[in-house]
A and B are shown apart, each in its own frame.
Chain A
Amino acid sequence: MDKFLNLVADILNREENSISFQDDFREYNEWDSLAALSFLAMINEEYDVIISRRDFDDMITLEQIYQYVENQRGK
């Protein structure tokens, strides 16, 4: 879990302790369309999970993304 937050912080170029699972990540100042693409690419690269854009757009918090990734990996 820490690794996940680390990776997200890295993409957004934010301090790790400024990010938590309950955050609506689209509210971060650093969030933009390229951040979204990087986020999806990171999940593909690190977790070997492809999130469909529709599913991604429906999720609001980092926790939801993390749960989604864990569920997909369990399959």
Chain B
Amino acid sequence: MLKIKGGNSMLSQKRILITGSTSGIGRETAKVIASYGGYVIINGRSNKRAMELQEEIGSNNSSIYLFDITDRNAVSDFIQDCPKLDGIIHCAGINRIIPFGFVKFEAMYEMFNINYFAPIMLTQQIFKKKKFNENASIVFISSIMSIVGEGGNTVYAGTKSALVGSVRCIALELAKRKIRVNCISPGFIRTNMTDSEIEINEDETKNVISLHPLGEGMAKDIANLCVFLCSDNSRWITGQNYIIDGGYSIR
């Protein structure tokens, strides 16, 4: 029987893997999930940053598994080792701004590999090895670029839209196992995802923020919905794409 919990114990007994949790939205999400009683599996590539995060949220309610989600061997080692999960939040991702005329296959493959292929295959492997508990919840962090466009984002928008399309199909297939699958599409959130050779300057950043009627968003704004989607309170929600963008897309 499903027990609906609220308050700080909303996620008690929930063990949740958060990819890319050593920085940006993933890091904040890990902290918020833990604050609602969830057990967090920290994942990333930097041991130093993972340790720092674990120090903040405590080692009673977290463990660290460092691996690169695009490395298939590392992923299968992780799945062998890992305990059963009640959820995954896919936060690992990159954004490179590439004007359409300069798109190259290699850059396209790299971005799709990290943003789309790896999270989909990681989810599939965990599913196949029966490492999901019943009522598990899977959340993919997509982007507002899955529903609106912006110059320079041809490839990024492709990877994030692809997630939204696949999520509906995976949700249908996993529904009979009572596993739910959803996307969250954030507007512009300032993080250190400056993994780009072409940098955006401060004026351009301010300009993008000014297009959000509620002003600048924070990673926490995304993390709060992750909490709800990982909790049993969202038991009848699956296959959806939630827009959190401070009103960016409503004009």
Seen from chain A, the residues whose Cβ lies within 8 Å of a Cβ on chain B are: 33-34, 36-38, 40-42, 44-45, 50, 52-53, 57
Q: Quick one: CB contact mask for B60-101 with A, threshold 8 Å, 1 for yes? A: 000000000000000000000000000000000000011101
Residues of B within 8 A of A (CB): 97-99, 101-102, 151-152, 197-201, 204, 207
Minimum CB–CB distance for A6 against chain B, Å: 14
Asked if residues B207 and A38 are in contact (CB atoms below 8 Å), the reply is no
Contact across chains for B204 and A33 when beta carbons are under 8 A apart: yes
In the complex where A42-B102, A45-B102 touch, is A37 in contact with B197 (Cβ < 8 A)?
no
Residues A52 and B199 in contact, CB atoms below 8 Å apart: yes
**Smallest CB gap from B104: residue in A:** A45
Q: 7 more A-B contacts (CB under 8 A) besides A34-B99, A38-B99, A44-B198? A: A33-B207, A34-B151, A37-B97, A41-B99, A41-B101, A41-B198, A44-B197
Closest residue to A33 on the B side, CB-wise?
B204
| Interfacial chain B residues near A37, Cβ < 8 Å | 97, 99, 151-152, 198
User: In angstroms, how far is the closest chain A Cβ from the Cβ of B220?
Assistant: 28
What A residues does B207 contact at CB under 8 A? 33
Q: Is the CB–CB distance between B201 and A38 below 8 Å?
A: no
How far is B102's CA from A38's CA once the two chains are assembled, in angstroms? 8
CB of A40 within 8 A of CB of B204, answer: no
Q: Chain A nearest CB: distance from B126 CB in Å?
A: 37
Say whether A34 contacts B102, CB under 8 Å: no
Instruction: State A33–B200 Cα separation when bound (angstroms).
Output: 9
B22 to chain A, nearest CB (A): 25
Partner of A53, one of B98, B102, B199: B199
- A42–B98 Cα distance when bound, in Å, is 10
Cβ-closest chain B residue relative to A41:
B102
Which A residue sits closest to B97, measured CB to CB? A37
Q: Across the interface, which residues of B come within 8 angstroms of A57, CB to CB?
A: 201
For the complex, give the distance between the alpha carbons of A34 and B100 in Å. Answer: 10
- With A37-B99, A38-B99, A41-B98 as given contacts, are A53 and B201 in contact (CB-CB < 8 Å)? yes
Give the distance in Å from the alpha carbon of A19 to the alpha carbon of B138 in the complex: 53
| CB nearest to A50 among chain B residues | B197
Q: In the complex, which residues of chain A have a beta carbon less than 8 angstroms from the beta carbon of B152?
A: 34, 37
Could you pull out 15 A-B pairs where Cβ atoms are within 8 angstroms? A33-B151, A33-B207, A34-B151, A37-B97, A37-B151, A37-B152, A37-B198, A38-B99, A38-B101, A41-B98, A41-B99, A42-B102, A44-B198, A45-B102, A53-B200
| Min C-beta distance of A28 to chain B, whole Å | 17
A45 to B, closest residue via Cβ: B102
